[in-house]
Amino acid sequence: MSELENFINENRDSFDKEPMPLGHENRFLMKIEKQKIENENRVRFWRVAAAIIVLLIAGGSLLLPRFNSPADVQYGSMALSDVSSDMANIEFYYTSQLEEKYAGLQELSETNMEVKSLFDELTFLNDEYENLERELYRSGTSDRVILAMIENFRLRLKIVEKLEKIKQEQLSQSL
């Protein structure tokens, strides 16, 4: 080993005594604080990203049955017309019949107990039909539900016809 190397090895500690730059400790504390904030932001970012991924997966699994069902299905429920074109014809027949006849019943007085009871029954059947639409969506176009929906239409039409008859009677009595 040369004299130079020996000298350096013997005075090694003196070589490590460099004057530190002014304010280095403050700069270090600022850097470490900044790094901490960046790390926290990174953790927050990944948490949010993870939450979004979970939501997307959950949303996807909820929406998947909808995409597997016929087109134009209302989210969470399904009309008869969504099942097939035959069912669409049936639905069209009953809804047009009901709308047409129902429009002419507006003047009927609900003070008549029978009329009130029939209107109540209609309201009940309307609500029941909405339930059946939801059940049809959940069941994946079950035949049992389709038959119940057609039966519901038939009953409503029957009630509306009864109400028409009452209206006719009321009209002939007033003349």
Partner 1 sequence: MFGRQTDEAFNQQMEISLIKKQLKSDRRVQTEVYNDCCRRVYASCLRILNDPHEAEDFMQEAFIQAFERIDSFRGDSQLASWICRIAINKCLDHLKKRKVPFDMDAQVDNGERIYDQNGDGNYDVDRIKRAMKDLPEGCRVVFSLHLFEEMDHKSISKQLGIKEASSRAQYARAKNKIIELVKETYV
143 binds partner 1 per the rule CB under 8 A: no
164 in Cβ contact with 105 (< 8 Å): yes
The CB-of-38 to partner 1 minimum distance in angstroms stands at 11
41 binds partner 1 per the rule CB under 8 A: no
Q: Give the list of residues 6+ apart from residue 35 with CB closer than 8 angstroms, or none.
A: none
72 binds partner 1 per the rule CB under 8 A: no
The CB-of-25 to partner 1 minimum distance in angstroms stands at 7
Q: Give the list of residues 6+ apart from residue 32 with CB closer than 8 angstroms, or none.
A: none
18 binds partner 1 per the rule CB under 8 A: yes
In the block, tokens 């239409």 appear at 153
The CB-of-46 to partner 1 minimum distance in angstroms stands at 16
Could you give phi then psi for residue 19, rounded to 5 degrees? Answer: -65, 130
**15 vs 75, beta carbon nearer partner 1:** 15
25 binds partner 1 per the rule CB under 8 A: yes
Q: Per CB under 8 A, which region of 11-19, 53-61, 98-106, 120-128 contacts partner 1?
A: 11-19
92 binds partner 1 per the rule CB under 8 A: no
Residues 35 and 29: their CA atoms lie apart, in Å, by 10
The CB-of-35 to partner 1 minimum distance in angstroms stands at 5
